[in-house]
């Protein structure tokens, strides 16, 4: 909902999120500010232990989202996410978290992260697990076959 351009509530919620993410009010977010904002939001929503676990699990997605968004706006600074880039960074956060979630569902042969995960997907893992991610809302995944 935060990325919807036509929803007035999304714009208001995004403005509030931006204010929380940019505590010094300089109009730019560094990775440390984004990290802090995400971790604070997760802890507030899921409490201390679960929030920190989710933060740690999905942090690679946060870094990718930050890096993808930080140089999108014309005249933006390539080391920071600007207010113009913030909505897209949130969209990237959702996308990369979904991708990481799908990857984790295949890596190691089951959902989540455990001792069987090695951050790589073997052919056997792919063949056994690709059906588990076919329900994700990505057009190309619906067409995957065992071939």
* Residue bearing the bigger pLDDT, 99 or 64: 64
Nearest alpha carbon to residue 94 among 47, 123, 58? 58
41-46: average pLDDT:
96
* Residue bearing the bigger pLDDT, 91 or 116: 91
What pLDDT, on a 0 to 100 scale, did the predictor assign at position 112? 64
Residue 34 has pLDDT above 70, yes or no: yes
What pLDDT, on a 0 to 100 scale, did the predictor assign at position 147? 45
Lowest mean pLDDT among 36-40, 58-62, 141-145: 141-145
Contact by Cβ (8 Å): 143, 130: no
Residue 123 binned pLDDT confidence (cut-offs 50, 70, 90) = confident
Round to whole Å and give the CA distance between 34 and 118.
Answer: 27
Lowest mean pLDDT among 70-74, 92-96, 97-101, 132-136: 132-136
The mean pLDDT of the chain is 85
Residue 144 has pLDDT above 60, yes or no: no
């Amino acid at each position: 909902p935060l990325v919807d351009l036509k929803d007035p509530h999304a714009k208001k919620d995004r403005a509030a999120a931006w204010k929380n993410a940019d505590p010094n009010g300089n109009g730019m977010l560094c990775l440390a500010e984004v990290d802090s904002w995400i971790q604070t939001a997760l802890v507030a929503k899921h409490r201390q232990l679960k929030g920190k676990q989710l933060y740690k699990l999905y942090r690679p997605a946060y870094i990718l989202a930050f890096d993808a968004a930080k140089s999108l706006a014309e005249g933006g600074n390539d080391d920071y996410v600007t207010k113009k880039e913030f909505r897209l960074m949130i969209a990237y956060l959702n996308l990369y978290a979904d991708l990481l979630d799908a990857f984790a569902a295949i890596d190691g042969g089951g959902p989540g992260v455990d001792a069987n995960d090695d951050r790589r997907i073997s052919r056997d893992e792919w063949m056994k697990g690709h059906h588990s991610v076919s329900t994700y809302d990505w057009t190309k995944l619906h067409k995957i076959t065992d071939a």
